[in-house]
Structure 1
Amino acid sequence: MRAGSAQHARRPASSSLVRGVYLPRSADGAAFALATYGIPLIVVATTGSATLTGLAFALEWLPRLGAFTVAGTLVDRHGIARVFRTACALRAVVALVAALLLAVHGTGVAAVVTVMTLAPLTGFLTEFSYVAAETAGGEASRAAGAGAHRVQSVLLGIDQTAMLAGPLVAGLLLEHGGPAVMLGTLAAFSVLAAVLASGHRTTARAAVSSKGGLRTGWRTLRGLPALAWLVGGLVVSNTAVALLQAALPVIVVSELGRSSAQAGLIWSAAALVSLIAITTARRAIDRWGLWPVGAIAAAIAASATLAVAHTHTYHGYLLLIAVLMTGEGGLTVVLRTLRSHLIPADVFASTLAVTILLLLLPYPVAGLLVAAVPVAQLGHALTAAALLQALGLATAFARLRTLTARSA
């Protein structure tokens, strides 16, 4: 979608949304899911080490944080299409090179170096494409006016569909075709996303300073107290979710003796339930408003995380993580809707980058915790994270209720 489209149409045409926003987002989301869930499984399969798996998870997310220091500014300055295509193309090259190296050196030091290098490179490039895709979604939401939450629910549905298929597909490809096949599929989706990106905005926004992208985004976020409190609560919540995501490959494969495909199935099943939650949240927001729906979703997420910390069976993880992601799906619809309504268009990508940067901070920390904490003690770490999640979300939504009452 081009920058000027919102000026002549309050509601973007469905065909324009599909061609310019939804299709590129779908291909990039598939690549994102394969990288996020597949690479830790590759590390487990290649090294068999819980410590290296946790370290690889941290290495995958740390460069993503670094990417946000420049990604939003680059999108605002150079346009969505240019950043999106470049990031997707480079990610395809990285995946193909790694696939070739692992096909030649399936085990040993060379294979370990390859998978440990693959994690930070794909993580870094994925966040550039993600910021660009989110900016395109923000433009579409602003053009939709009062229907912004419907556009955001579709975008979130695309992301959750990728999460539905991605973990399971990654596990199956790894189990039956090996790392090279999984990485080849990741490269194919990356190339497809780059090809489909023709509908994205290519023009730059001259108002963005080359040095002040993050400062501008941070200043904008601080000036939007409702968004700032919600982001703060979700940062605490993401600590628990990130710890689960980092620990689960180790718990399922190493401790429970299940396969890579079964580890992926947990997140795929969770994404399926989350799709239903997204649709429900959209209709509930239409009827009851943003904050009540967000508060209910927060309560579901916090309760499920606390229960997950005390389960010790595969089916327990399968069920409770699905419940957790139901709450997370509702919270994400609320966040994206609020973000699209409140952030000014001329600094959207820069402010978006700051919010995502804050939301991703727990992920490398979670990887380092999994690398450092003995597997037998992970349950205690998850319990502490669940209690913090409940406290953080309760504080955030109590504050949001106060802000809403004052503005009424």
Structure 2
Amino acid sequence: MSAPVHASAPAARVARRSYLLRAADQLATAMVTYGIPLLILATTGSGALTGLAYLVEWVPRLAVFTVAGTLVDRHGPHRVFRLANAARTVLAALTIAALSTLPGSGAAGTVVALCFCAAAGGTAQVSFLAAEAIGSAHSQQSPRHAHQVQSVQIGIDQGALIAGPLLGGVLLLAGPLALLAAIAAASLAAVGGTVGWHPPTATSAVTDPTTSFARSLGAGLRTVVRRPALVWLVAGLAASNLALAVIESSAPITIMQHFGHTSAMVGVVWSVGAALSLLGLAVCSRSIDRWGLWAVGAMGAAVVCLGSLTTALAPGFATYTAGVALLLGADAVMTVVLRTLRARLIPPRGSGATLSVTIVAILLPFPLAGALVAAVPASGLPVLLTTCALVQITILAAAFAGLRRHRADLAAPVDPLRPIPPHEDETSPTDLAPAA
């Protein structure tokens, strides 16, 4: 009887290591995502440049997916994760050196900050895809507890969302070099933690190294198109991300210029929302076990839409903060559901390329949001937010209806749209969770 316990111990240690490394990586990414636009707004006072910073960060993120998935399939996610964080560490160090010789509020410093934002965005998505591939392997190895793996990973992401914006806003009070040093430190910690790291990989996941990038991505695209449930899943996530991204990219303008608060309050708003998302994740797994993925996902989607509308129509700062908190809390729950389904729909072989295709589609709204915020005057932001919320409601309703029509595609290896009775449980949830 003790053999399974001893056999699972190394896997549990590998799982804990992968969770810790994901935390360091996501913290660095969150500080880039929220800190650099704040830096641009604080030094230039320009809402257009703030939207531009968001845009130039996300365009490279999408561009790297044309090769990142194939690199993961060829070389393994752990190696790609290590190299991506090493590259971000070097980029942060070079940016610190450049800004040390330039005026803090000059045009040259702004250009350097934008260049770092673009380059760091690209490396962030490479490391994210590698971490997602590792998480997908965890899910495939224990399919009955796939939603618990996703809950842990999203909990890590939301924890970084709490610390990243708040830390970025506080560090900016000490100057941009302090923010960049913290980004470099978190990235370096992720690199150092990969020494001796051997995460799980999906069965037959590594592809032929002679396969071209275009052919690999083509295979991933065909996998998506052939699975209607996956198409609906991607559509729902993309629509939700559009509303979230517009709120996220316009937050510095709304909070600092419309409501008259400081840059630190921008971090506080997002940290409050991320804290509520952790509360949602705390009850998410038990709710799914009791009521099933379908019921929990549909409820999460409804609350997400309510949060978006509340934020768009908020008459004051308190209502705005409550709307953001409601949105982020429900979005975390809904994302657990949809990522669990995605892990079950994507086959092991060539999973990196298929993940690339789905993530590109899901993340396209982020650079689009940056472009919209840059193009729309501050007075027009409420109308933009309301329009995106209505689009989100319409597409999420259609997406969940489409997923329900294709329930058969979601029933492997077990039907994720029904609760799992306790007597069918084959593995312990603690095998997939970090140590207390």
Is the Cα–Cα contact under 8 Å of residues 243 and 366 in structure 1 kept in the other structure? yes
| Equivalent residue, structure 1, for 2:52 | 55
> Residue 406 of structure 2: SS of its match in structure 1?
helix
Distance 2:300 2:316 in 1: 25
Residue 340 (structure 1) aligned with residue 337 (structure 2): no
Is the Cα–Cα contact under 8 Å of residues 311 and 321 in structure 2 kept in the other structure? no
| Equivalent residue, structure 1, for 2:352 | 349
Distance 2:356 2:121 in 1: 15
| Equivalent residue, structure 1, for 2:125 | 127
Residue 41 (structure 1) aligned with residue 47 (structure 2): no
Distance 1:37 1:29 in 2: 12
What is the deviation of 1:288?
1.3
| Equivalent residue, structure 2, for 1:3 | none
What is the deviation of 1:402?
2.0
Residue 182 (structure 1) aligned with residue 183 (structure 2): no
Is the Cα–Cα contact under 8 Å of residues 25 and 158 in structure 1 kept in the other structure? yes
> Residue 289 of structure 2: SS of its match in structure 1?
helix
Instruction: Tell which deviates more after alignment, 221-230 or 111-120.
Output: 221-230
> Residue 311 of structure 1: SS of its match in structure 2?
coil
Match of 1:149 among 128, 147, 150: 147
Is the Cα–Cα contact under 8 Å of residues 15 and 199 in structure 2 kept in the other structure? no
Distance change (3 Å), C-alpha of 1:400 and 1:61: same
Distance 2:194 2:130 in 1: 10
> Residue 40 of structure 1: SS of its match in structure 2?
helix
| Equivalent residue, structure 2, for 1:305 | 308
Distance 1:296 1:240 in 2: 18
What is the deviation of 1:279?
2.2
| Equivalent residue, structure 2, for 1:197 | 194
Is the Cα–Cα contact under 8 Å of residues 75 and 132 in structure 1 kept in the other structure? yes
Instruction: Tell which deviates more after alignment, 132-141 or 197-206.
Output: 197-206
Distance change (3 Å), C-alpha of 1:150 and 1:9: farther
> Residue 345 of structure 1: SS of its match in structure 2?
coil
Match of 2:249 among 246, 252, 266: 246
What amino acid sits opposite 2:262 in the alignment? Answer: S
Residue 206 (structure 1) aligned with residue 204 (structure 2): no
What amino acid sits opposite 1:53 in the alignment? Answer: T
Q: What TM-score do the two structures reach when normalised by structure 2? A: 0.88
What is the deviation of 1:103?
3.1
What is the deviation of 1:33?
0.8
> Residue 258 of structure 1: SS of its match in structure 2?
coil
| Equivalent residue, structure 2, for 1:5 | none
What is the deviation of 1:207?
4.2
> Residue 247 of structure 1: SS of its match in structure 2?
helix
Distance 1:363 1:342 in 2: 24
User: 1:320-359: CA deviations, max 9, x gaps?
Assistant: 1000011210111012211222211112111111111111
Is the Cα–Cα contact under 8 Å of residues 46 and 111 in structure 1 kept in the other structure? no
Distance change (3 Å), C-alpha of 1:10 and 1:69: farther
Match of 1:369 among 352, 363, 372: 372
- Structure 1 gap ranges (5+): 1-7
User: 1:261-316: CA deviations, max 9, x gaps?
Assistant: 10011111111100111122211111111111111110000111011111132222
Is the Cα–Cα contact under 8 Å of residues 79 and 202 in structure 1 kept in the other structure? no
What amino acid sits opposite 2:212 in the alignment? Answer: S
Distance change (3 Å), C-alpha of 1:244 and 1:96: same
Match of 2:24 among 20, 24, 27: 27
What amino acid sits opposite 2:252 in the alignment? Answer: P
What amino acid sits opposite 2:316 in the alignment? Answer: T
Distance change (3 Å), C-alpha of 1:239 and 1:107: same
What is the deviation of 1:10?
8.6
Residue 140 (structure 1) aligned with residue 138 (structure 2): yes
Distance change (3 Å), C-alpha of 1:296 and 1:202: closer
User: 1:178-205: CA deviations, max 9, x gaps?
Assistant: 1100110000000110111232459981
Is the Cα–Cα contact under 8 Å of residues 82 and 202 in structure 1 kept in the other structure? no
Distance 1:33 1:361 in 2: 18
What amino acid sits opposite 2:89 in the alignment? Answer: A
| Equivalent residue, structure 2, for 1:111 | 109
Distance change (3 Å), C-alpha of 1:347 and 1:261: same
Distance change (3 Å), C-alpha of 1:192 and 1:226: same
What amino acid sits opposite 2:69 in the alignment? Answer: G
What amino acid sits opposite 1:320 in the alignment? Answer: G
User: How many residues matched?
Assistant: 399
Question: Comparing both structures, which one devotes a greater share of its residues to helix?
Answer: 1
> Residue 194 of structure 2: SS of its match in structure 1?
helix
- Structure 2 gap ranges (5+): 1-5, 416-436
Moved over 6 A (4+): 8-12, 405-408
User: 1:52-77: CA deviations, max 9, x gaps?
Assistant: 11011101001100011110100100
> Residue 257 of structure 1: SS of its match in structure 2?
coil
Is the Cα–Cα contact under 8 Å of residues 237 and 389 in structure 1 kept in the other structure? yes
Match of 1:220 among 219, 223, 233: 223
Distance 2:23 2:249 in 1: 24
What amino acid sits opposite 1:371 in the alignment? Answer: A
Report sequence identity in percent.
45
Is the Cα–Cα contact under 8 Å of residues 167 and 268 in structure 1 kept in the other structure? yes
Is the Cα–Cα contact under 8 Å of residues 12 and 144 in structure 1 kept in the other structure? no
What amino acid sits opposite 1:135 in the alignment? Answer: A
| Equivalent residue, structure 1, for 2:400 | 397
| Equivalent residue, structure 1, for 2:429 | none
Residue 256 (structure 1) aligned with residue 254 (structure 2): no
> Residue 350 of structure 2: SS of its match in structure 1?
helix
Match of 1:320 among 307, 323, 327: 323
Distance 2:8 2:139 in 1: 9
Distance 1:187 1:381 in 2: 35
What is the deviation of 1:14?
2.0
> Residue 206 of structure 2: SS of its match in structure 1?
coil
